[in-house]
Chains A and B, each alone.
Chain A
């Protein structure tokens, strides 16, 4: 049913404008060079963004045309349920990580630059969440890549700059594949505005299915660069660990999801699942996602550097989401949407813990973490809870999303539909292996270690409260997922 939409709703621009203005103030106003004032400014900006997002979420469906590139290609913002989900969790996570970073960034230089680009990145992400056409999405997507680059290269070491370049090259390759796809889509679609169920014009498509499928395959492959899917995941384990912990957290937890958003929009809102179901393209995507799930876990299991281990874990976990999306089933889509939120919560907490360990003890290798649980019990308890979430042990949130993902896998009409769930579980076993080994060493250092060798190193409340909040969310969503599952169910049933 078509509803008449308000097309000039400037409220939609607020979540983008607020962080941009905040970022500009932080970057150019001399008065904000004072550390305390800057923190106040950043906090206010982040909180105001959350408030604006809340207002947008509660607003009915509406849109805002910013300008027209050509008479047929508008750049427009639109709020739908995917947008509500994305803008909601992203602004919340950015607020938490932002507050956490006040303490962490003390031992880094160039705080001003960091916060300016942190806020700009948030603005780009808000734009991505709220965009209404694929062209708008592409613009914000490129903006996000460029604005988040200074976060990767923040430390300015040789290693970080090299990682930044790698990040840039991969992203550019990915984005150009996506852009090429947009050109083709424009030819075969009625409109480039996202519409549940797809916009392809059957008459125009007739006879060109093979071409269009190939184009869609490449387009999704392009977006999958950000999501870290094999074979274009190489930048992720390089770029995430070199950034400062708060940046790694949002890179891993949030920015990877921007790639996922591109894929959701392409598959479900442009091409339409019915066009893709049962094709070689779907099978190829599924196989790539399944390979990535296993690959990431296995390499994380073998990785000795704490943050790099978490980065590999992201490779694996984001492909859980992609697997769910590629099943093209309602269950799979619901599982994917849930896992987007849950993985974001969990991975941010994990990186914050890793950051706290580095900040307080300077230890970066897993083998050095013996007794860390005795040194920072609260932080490591957060780590333990979210680890259970990532493995998918009830009653934490990861269990819920895994349940839906596996049901999605099993509802596919392929004879090999059990492979996906089986690999998810093998990966869960590996996840337990690479996350719990730290918990075990941390809390059970062995009877030869004296308590005196393990001085207390608990971080301050500024660091702990965001971690505790997200860890609590991980448990609460696991125990009471009803509201969220109902919400994602409404998204999934609209497109499938």
Chain B
């Protein structure tokens, strides 16, 4: 094969492969892509409008963590100090998932409007909260909430998330 035709062949094959793989990826994207929402976004648009995976960020409301009737699930509420979203998670969450601290939960809403989380993220650092949790609180604060902001972290007005 001539050099030029080899190169064309290579580029063509790469293009076809890339196109095929991206097609596959887009088919898979239904479950793979999750858009970020704050608790207030969800309250204003209505839970029923969210059919796809979502990521919800905020603080874990103080006093909201329970373990359900059979003790197998972790339940808590995510708050941005204005609105809250109930979450259930089957499993043991990362160590930094603590009441009053920032968290991001990813999953789908069930018919009762509870977020069934498949992933729960918290930051591995005591001083910083996940960006999306911070953004939730910031947005709520901009629309008149009472949040206290500090370097990379935030709490509800009185220093605790209630």
To the question of whether A and B form a pair in one complex, the answer is: no
